[in-house]
Copies of this chain bind each other. A is one copy, B any other.
Amino acid sequence: MSAPRTARERVRQEMTAEILAVAREHLAREGAAALSLRSVARELEMAPSALYRYFDGRDALLSALILEAYESLAAEAERAATQAVAPATSQPEASGSGDAECFLVVPRAIRDWALAHPHEWGLIFGTPIPGYEAPEDTVQPYARIAEAMVLPVLEAHAAGRLGSELHRRAVSEELRDAVAPVSEGLFPDMPAVNVVLAVEAWTTLVGIISLEVFGHWRNTILDPGEFFDATIRDLAATMGLS
């Protein structure tokens, strides 16, 4: 990732990027199962063996693509998060966009990304590829996605604008323990209720997008966008945003 010193290194970087671009395109068009070194090489008008100069084999190429997918989605979520929060804090009451509307922004961005990249969504949240272990590098972008989504909740909490009716609800010790990693990693100094509700919201978000992207709304939900917005608004309300 450092600046290329020699012409050879520069070409190598460009070539690597080109291979990834073609592979990404094949993945988007035909899915992970159909991705093959030979077809990528064919499109690049290279010998299949040449790709071994850049990737250790098919699995390494696929790993790179998975990581790219995570990072692409994370970047998108973060981009949306900054857009959602920045105007709200600079002019708090302007244009009537409260915390609940802020909260809509990131989920919508995630949904848009998923609809634009259905196979990549499947790579992240769909059936795991058999005999394939998710690379460890995906943990960090995964966390970034969750952080982006949760940002408006943290902001509202910090500003004392989080509804308090629900906060009296009891959370059992077992449940508190069950979500402990999320509490510690994502919500320092937050009541357990909020943490639980946030993970539930995440769960619903993944479910609603997967159902739509994987084609299960056919003949069931006629207007997925409408239902999506309503669902996310309900989640926001449940979490005490308004």
Interface residues of A (CB under 8 A from B): 30-34, 119, 122-123, 125-131, 134, 139, 172, 174-175, 177-182, 196-197, 199-200, 203-208, 210-211, 214-216, 219-224, 226-227, 230-231, 234, 238
Contacts and interface: CB of A to CB of B under 8 A. Distances in A.
A196 B230 CA distance: 9
A182 B215 contact: no
A76 to B, nearest CB: 19
A207 B214 contact: no
Contacts of A214: 125-128
Given A31-B127, A178-B223, A182-B221, A211 B215 contact: no
The 6 closest A-B pairs by CB, nearest first: A207-B207, A126-B127, A122-B127, A178-B223, A31-B130, A178-B226
Given A203-B208, A205-B207, A222-B180, A128 B227 contact: no
A59 B204 CA distance: 33
Contacts of A231: 200, 203
Given A139-B219, A204-B203, A208-B207, A174 B130 contact: no
Contact of A179 (B129, B197, B205, B221): B221
A227 B127 contact: no
A181 B222 contact: yes
Contacts of A177: 222-223, 226
